[in-house]
């Protein structure tokens, strides 16, 4: 049994990942979130639910004890503080493996007109997400940072990845695809360790996401 701690467990990608994790008997989940009643439908002998804020260092550290993998599906103005708290809690519990959801554009890696539009539209959000990703990159943890394209709720798993240092491809990707990538990474602890992956749906290049 592999034990996965999911932070921000009511987030939209997290909910899809939880379904996919639970379809596989190899996983046991701890769901860590604010207002925990939102995931009470998932309670079972394979699911533990903890009500907590990620910036609560003591509670988060306690939740990490005995876990194998941390999957952070977080957001917010204080995302860098959240990253620092997660890294500290992982150090305190000797945990190494973390999958961290970030965003496209944090390294100014999105080329062309779409890159210009993305920078102008996302503004200081990109700086905050860069700062949070850097907390992981500067740590000794086995991180995988995921940089999704603009997210859709399409019921499809269809994605390709780019590495840090390569131009980002495409404009969009489904949340379900990101969830599938998270589950794949959690299954194989050595897959994409200490990397930052751009993730997009193939053949979606354009000046903006299709719905703008």
Ligand X SMILES: NC(=O)c1ccc[n+]([C@@H]2O[C@H](COP(=O)([O-])OP(=O)(O)OC[C@H]3O[C@@H](n4cnc5c(N)ncnc54)[C@H](OP(=O)(O)O)[C@@H]3O)[C@@H](O)[C@H]2O)c1
Residues near ligand X, by CB under 6 A? 8, 10-14, 33-35, 53-55, 73-76, 82, 101, 103-104, 148, 150-151, 175
| 140 versus 181: smaller Cβ distance to ligand X | 181
| Three-state DSSP state, 180 | helix
Residue nearest to ligand X (CB): 11
Tell me whether residue 58 or residue 140 sits nearer to ligand X (CB atom).
58
| Nearest approach, Cβ of residue 52 and ligand X (Å) | 7
The two structure tokens encoding residue 43: 């309670």
Distance CA 147, CA 102 (A): 5
Q: Which is nearer to ligand X, 10 or 92 (CB)?
A: 10
Q: Which is nearer to ligand X, 54 or 197 (CB)?
A: 54
Q: Give CA 87 to chain center in angstroms.
A: 14
**CB of 2 vs ligand X, minimal distance in Å:** 21
Q: How far is CA 8 from CA 13, 60, 201, in A?
A: 10, 12, 24
The least CB distance from residue 189 to ligand X, in Å, is 22
Beta strands in the chain (DSSP E): 2-7, 27-33, 47-51, 69-72, 97-101, 142-148, 150-152, 160-163, 172-174, 195-200
Q: Residue 120 gets which letter from DSSP? A: H
Instruction: Please report how close the Cβ of residue 71 comes to ligand X at its closest, in angstroms.
Output: 11
């Amino acid at each position: 049994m592999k034990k996965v701690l999911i932070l921000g467990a009511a987030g939209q990608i997290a909910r899809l990942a939880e379904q996919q994790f639970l379809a596989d008997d190899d996983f046991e989940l701890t769901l860590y979130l604010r207002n925990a009643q939102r995931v009470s439908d998932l309670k079972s002998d394979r699911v533990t639910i903890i009500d907590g804020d990620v910036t609560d260092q003591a509670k988060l550290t306690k939740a990490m004890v005995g876990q194998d993998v941390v999957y952070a599906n977080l957001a917010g103005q204080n995302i860098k503080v959240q990253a620092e708290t997660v890294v500290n809690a992982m150090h305190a519990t000797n945990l190494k493996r973390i999958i961290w959801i970030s965003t496209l554009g944090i390294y100014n890696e999105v080329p062309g007109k779409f890159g210009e539009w993305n920078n102008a539209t996302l503004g200081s959000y990109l700086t905050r997400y860069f700062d949070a990703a850097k907390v992981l990159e500067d740590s000794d943890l086995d991180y995988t940072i995921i940089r999704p394209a603009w997210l859709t709720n399409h019921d499809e798993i269809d994605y390709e990845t780019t590495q840090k240092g390569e131009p980002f491809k495409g404009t969009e990707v489904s949340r379900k695809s990101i969830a599938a990538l998270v589950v794949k990474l959690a299954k194989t602890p050595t897959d994409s360790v200490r990397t930052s992956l751009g993730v997009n749906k193939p053949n979606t290049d354009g000046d903006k996401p299709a719905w703008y």
